[in-house]
Structure 1
Amino acid sequence: MARANLTSAAVIRAAADLADRDGFDAVTLSALARGFGVQTASLYSHVRDRSALIEGVHQLALGELADRIALAIGGRSGQEALTAFADAHRDYARQFPGRWTALQRPASPATVRSEGAGRVAALTLAMLRGYPLPESELVHATRLLAATVNGFLALRANDSFAHREPAAGLSWLRALEVLDGAFRSWPTEGKI
């Protein structure tokens, strides 16, 4: 890529592509500079340091994931929306493993305030509002949902489910059925 094409967005996208191709730990400024055919110092006018680069990949991934969630859950509610929501995460993790790894890292304050993070949060709450959950319980339901989806996908990525039948895909469906049941029968506030 020619030096004239270097922008912050191009550098971050190249970092995300590198993470998907070679693994998250392969993302360094020197590796990106080699890919662009420039000196590492040339990248510092576009990204402050590796930390800023990783933050950029995190924010990029949040925006992309939000787009997928929106398409998946549009016009759906209840278990159908829950399954579409979870499948959007699963499919994104499969297609973009490096970007998915970025999503599993602690979010910086700027990333928490980013447009992508706001959209993912809003879409998650919109999907959960299709269940009879009290507003005061939405944070707890969101945490359960995130722990189940992210935990399952992390274990599957590590081949933790590859050693025993039935196939992990069936366990995925069962986990979503259980979540659906939990959200439908969620205890009211103060009755846990």
Structure 2
Amino acid sequence: MPRMGLDLHTILQSATEIADQQGLASVTLASLAKKLNIRPPSLYNHIEGLGGLRKKLAVHGLDILYDRLAHASIGKAKDEAVHSVADAYVAFAREHRGIYELTLQAAESEDHEIQKAGGKIVDLTVQILRGYGLENDEVIHAVRGLRSILHGFSSLEQKGGFGLPLELDKSLHLLLDSYLAGIHKMKEK
């Protein structure tokens, strides 16, 4: 019988805290049970082992990321929307180092729930980039480019790859401006 007050949301919040503070590898059933002050078998009332926890945590991370990106894009279009969404993406990666890593691994999953959560992010990005008049393959190439920029930037930052004392957000926006100049150039052809 599930412990009173213990639910999937509470479990995911606690697992997120462990992942973000100590790294994804630190998220185990034992560490989670200890944080929740329960015995590990109690978790099985809500999740299907460590694999089930990681799946639920990936969906949880993708949902948080989607909500942040969607909120950042409200009332904005084209360049302003791209910059705002990029800021939200990088802020998510900075704040949620552990589950950010898991959201990237989720892209390889064939699980329907994970694919659906990730698909919402892709659909939002497609919608924003269609504002430039991009269609079919053009918009997919543009989505891949933007994802590469944001993931590359976030990953390098997390790994300490930006050692020079220059403002990181300025570097990000200069990179985005170059990307957007390319998008504008695509439509001139």
TM-score (norm 1): 0.88
Q: Give me the identity figure in percent.
A: 28
How do 1:1-192 and structure 2 match up within 5 A? 3-107=3-107, 108-110=109-111, 111-114=113-116, 116-162=117-163, 164-186=164-186
Answer whether contact 1:62 1:103 (CA < 8 A) is retained.
Answer: yes
* CA distance in 2: counterparts of 1:45 and 1:165, whole angstroms: 49
> Which amino acid in 2 is paired with 1:17?
E
Residue pair 2:133, 2:187 contacting (<8 A) in 1 also: no
The answer as to whether partners of 1:132 and 1:183 remain within 8 angstroms in 2 is: no
Per-residue deviation, 1:127: 0.9
Alignment gaps of 5+ in structure 2: none
Q: Distance in 2 between matches of 1:103 and 1:117?
A: 8
Aligned residues: 186
TM-score in terms of structure 2 length: 0.89
* Residues 30 and 40, structure 1, Cα contact 8 Å, conserved in 2: yes
- 8 Å Cα contact 1:19-1:98 kept in structure 2: yes
Report deviation, 1:181: 0.9
Unaligned runs of 5+ in 1: none
